[in-house]
A and B are shown apart, each in its own frame.
Chain A
Amino acid sequence: MPDRSEDFLFPQVRRAPSRFPNPLGKYTLVIGRECENCGICVELCPHKVFQRGARRPTVKAPHMCQGPECGFQDHCCITRCPKRAITMRPNPSFELLGDKRWTPDLLASTWHMAETGEVPHQDLNYKTGASGGGFDRLRFVFPPRKGLFVDEGDISLSIDLNRRDDGRPKIRIPVPFYLAGMSYGSISINAMLSRVKAAKAWGTFCSTGEGGYPEELYPYDDHVITQVATGLFGVGEETIKRVRIVEFKYAQGAKPGLGGHLLGDKVTPQVARMREAVAGSALFSPFPFHSVYSVEDHKKHVDWIKHLNPRALVAVKVSTPTDVDMVAVGSYFAGAHIIQLDGSYGGTGAAPDIAKKNIAMPIEYAVPKVHRFLTSEGIRDQITIIASGGIRSPHDVAKIIALGADGVSIGTADLVALECVRCHNCESGRGCARGIATTDPELTPLIDPDWGTQRIVNMYAAWMKVLRFILKRLGMRSVRELVGRWDTLVHVDYLQPEAIQGELEN
């Protein structure tokens, strides 16, 4: 049976290995001098770690190695090598990757998914990070036997983006995610194209961020969300009319209250032209909209967009202040179709560390707060809540939906699929040394958009499999059933094991 959600055919997974000769994995393998090149290891390893060589096999894909667990299996190269020539040890560079939120394990499992489209078979924790709170302490509890009665192929993952009866198109996307705004300037055109093409393949959308609408994206108009943000960089009537969804960015979670900031080095002549600015000079996107001081002002903006483009839906992206629930209601009354709540863990741009760390309410609190309030106001079913800023894995997707979102918007995970290592240097000098968040003409070609598209497509393929599996085990036939189901979750810090009926996800 083809993998489908309603009538949409999911894109095909094709293997997309790392761009670099040495992929980063948890373990390294060494074949010693004792090797007689019998080739047993090449034959045995189901994960194709080795490749035949002239004098002895080469370790082609150490990142695919299953690690010590493999020792219990018949195909273990170390125990089956007649000369005992193979040794495995932890890769010393591995533990230096990433940070508390994106642990080395999460990075490596995302790379695995982007390469293969499958959940990692290595001993990698692909479900949670090590932040010690929020997502990383929430777990699903699966009720006994319920999953038996659901066929995975029948589970719908689609969500509606227009839940108002306002005569505008009823856009339904086959998967509960779209791709978050990252501007031309903050990321390279090749990275941008990779994302937009992946969005098209998944039948969903990708936001342009606030950096204009490069011509290269025109073929994908129907899958582009164009952003209108406070700097109005590259915004014109023409761009607003091109698309099916227009997004207002009031604030971004990584630096709410501080607007955008593109350092001078990244403002190349191309970026400057796109943004109608001067090359080499830093660009501040002011905070906030200087013409919006009330819900009425906000409505005026929304009406303006709606008037310009009668077929467009309007999304409003806000950060999460203490009164985020009131902000959400305000957006509803202003006529928005989608409210995007942006938490604090995303972003490619430069942000003061003091802002990134303290900023606002973590998304894990903000989503249930808004969901609960909109429900009590009786308008929850007329607006779509999208959560973003810190969704790293399919488990995060499922958890935030269970906390009250309809779907998610993803940015950083896409970049990790493109082999971001989270070195936090996106903003400095020539930008990302790995060709992702840069506008440098020498670094940009490090990413081939076709390769990039496939990596992102693959990652989401793995995510959707996991999401379906979670829904199946919860006995649900649609991701829409999961919205706001706090009762499917427990928080490990408050866990009363005796009160649990069902299987606690590990």
Chain B
Amino acid sequence: MPSKYRIETSVVPHRLVPVSFSGVVAWEEGCLKCARCAKRQCVYKVYETRQLNPQEMRDSLDFACKNCFRCVQSCPKGLIQKAQDPRFRSLGDSYFTPEIITSLWYQAETGRIPVSGAGYGGPFSGPGFDSMWTDMSEIVRPTRDGIHGREYISTAVDLGRKPMALVFGPDGQLSSPTPPLMEIPIPVIFDKVPWSPASNGVSEAILMAAHELGTLAITWNDQLNAGELLEKSAVVHLAMEREGLPFWAQEGIHMVEIDDSRDAISLQERLKDVNPDLVVMIRLNARKGIERRVSELVRSGAEVIHLKADPWGKEMGEEPRFVLQVARQTHFHLVEAGIRDLVTLVVGGGVAMAEHMCKLIICGADAVSVDAVLLIAMECRVCSRCSQGLSCPAGLHEVEAKWGAARIRNLMGAWHNQLLEVMGAMGMRDVRRLRGEMGRAMFFEDLEREFFSRLGARV
């Protein structure tokens, strides 16, 4: 299989013992010392392989148990009980739930897709991304070989402005401009992390991972110190005065991000005067009515739009929409204006699971940008201590760049495979076709309106 269709992963162990949902409490007092002790019957050999982690004083019983309850039910004196680890519920926040965080840790450690048996046990629906289902049930138009066969599924996307037509001069020569395009093999770019203790390791790891994956990481121009990695993988976010363009805009760098402003387009033009091969991305904070501003920018020549909600997926202002609605409404707005295909739309904020990436693409994003998950891959617990200037319990300040990069690569490998599962199940072979494919989306609101909201009264 050509390398562009796959991401190499390898097991990258945690530095810390991960927090898990529940452990075992086994009393010794009153033990009858049965010949066939319930503990020895453990299918997973949890008791036989029991260990104490001396650094953290953690008993392996606290996380190795797989919840089959056999020992709990078999000990004749009832000396074994299950207990929830109180640290589990205190992980993260209401958006980055303990379940999401531990699943991300697993993916960053192993590079594998989370798989489990016995159906889905979660809530019926929920806020945000959980208010949407995807139709992964293509019965009559499948890929001919599924995802395990010979046909490759492409997840590559192009960043840049796409001309709608080519113009040729009387001599048969192309006379219309061909704007530069950046192709990235996965529809994900790395944004600046929303919080983090001061750490060179973290930013270097992100850049290194972006480089190895062939995608891009957005780096603020006051942080430029990672040498040659920058040239290939960094999108430099230009956050300085507009006078005098820095030397690096001229060569090496392929992509620059600028903040939206009244003269964003003229700045884009000036940058491109210096380096015509430069792709310029304009960053906008999602807020009410942003779709009108986006379409204005597209009409005046914007190449790539980076629409950004906060790390929890909310836009700015009162009664904020969720990032999914922002993407959907912006996409529709551009489609109605007939200019959707001119521009590349990158949407970010609140992307915490592989399915969020898929859902944003279905709702109209060409690619997504991720932020907090990059830290979670490196064992961040979303405790927000660093934003208060307190020490990081996950030791992010002393992360080794190589280890961090390998963890991020694993996470993206797992996400890539999940994207393949989704597209394989939908019978699609190119992620560019998934974009805006709203026929494959089902929204809670619509279905409730159609079937249940009338069931309010019975007379």
> What is A's interface to B at a CB cutoff of 8 Å?
18, 20-24, 28, 92-93, 95-102, 130-134, 136-138, 141, 250-251, 254-259, 284, 286-288, 290, 292-294, 318-322, 327, 344-362, 364-365, 368-369, 389-390, 412, 420-430, 432-434, 437, 443, 486-491, 493-496, 499-502
**Interface size for chain B: under 10, 10 to 19, 20 to 34, or 35 or more residues?**
35 or more
Q: Which residues of B contact A495 (CB under 8 A)?
A: 456-457
Q: Which residues of B contact A489 (CB under 8 A)?
A: 455, 458
Q: Is A23 touching B451 in the complex (CB atoms < 8 A)?
A: no
User: Taking the nearest CB of chain B, how far is it from the CB of A501, in angstroms?
Assistant: 5
User: Taking the nearest CB of chain A, how far is it from the CB of B400, in angstroms?
Assistant: 30
| CA gap between A411 and B139 in the complex, in Å | 23
CB closest residue in chain B, given A502: B458
Q: Is B72 touching A322 in the complex (CB atoms < 8 A)?
A: no
5 further contact pairs, Cβ within 8 A, besides A92-B83, A321-B137: A24-B73, A322-B439, A347-B117, A347-B119, A426-B117
User: Taking the nearest CB of chain A, how far is it from the CB of B98, in angstroms?
Assistant: 14
Q: Is B115 touching A433 in the complex (CB atoms < 8 A)?
A: no
Q: Is B458 touching A292 in the complex (CB atoms < 8 A)?
A: no
Q: Is A92 touching B81 in the complex (CB atoms < 8 A)?
A: yes
Q: Is A434 touching B70 in the complex (CB atoms < 8 A)?
A: yes
Q: Which residues of A contact B439 (CB under 8 A)?
A: 322
Q: Is A357 touching B67 in the complex (CB atoms < 8 A)?
A: no
CB closest residue in chain B, given A359: B136
User: Taking the nearest CB of chain B, how far is it from the CB of A49, in angstroms?
Assistant: 14
Interface of A is mostly: loop
> B176 at the A/B interface (Cβ < 8 Å)?
no
User: Taking the nearest CB of chain A, how far is it from the CB of B417, in angstroms?
Assistant: 8
User: Taking the nearest CB of chain B, how far is it from the CB of A56, in angstroms?
Assistant: 14
Given contacts A93-B81, A359-B133, contact A102 B121 (CB under 8 A): yes
Given contacts A358-B136, A362-B133, contact A254 B456 (CB under 8 A): no
Q: Which residues of A contact B456 (CB under 8 A)?
A: 490-491, 494-496, 499
Q: How many inter-chain residue pairs (CB < 8 Å) link A and B? A: 278
Interface of B is mostly: loop
User: Taking the nearest CB of chain A, how far is it from the CB of B113, in angstroms?
Assistant: 5
CB closest residue in chain B, given A420: B118
B75, B147, B427, B455: the one contacting A486 at CB < 8 Å is: B455
| CA gap between A360 and B439 in the complex, in Å | 12
Given contacts A257-B426, A423-B66, contact A433 B457 (CB under 8 A): no
Q: Which residues of A contact B426 (CB under 8 A)?
A: 257
The residue in A345, A365, A369, A429 that gathers the most chain B C-beta atoms within 10 A of its C-beta is: A365
User: Taking the nearest CB of chain B, how far is it from the CB of A272, in angstroms?
Assistant: 19
B70, B122, B139: the one contacting A433 at CB < 8 Å is: B70
Q: Which residues of B contact A327 (CB under 8 A)?
A: 139
Given contacts A361-B447, A494-B452, contact A256 B103 (CB under 8 A): no
A93, A354, A358: the one contacting B113 at CB < 8 Å is: A354
Given contacts A92-B81, A425-B68, A495-B456, contact A360 B135 (CB under 8 A): yes
Q: Which residues of A contact B113 (CB under 8 A)?
A: 352-354
Q: Which residues of B contact A255 (CB under 8 A)?
A: 425
Q: Which residues of A contact B418 (CB under 8 A)?
A: 352, 354
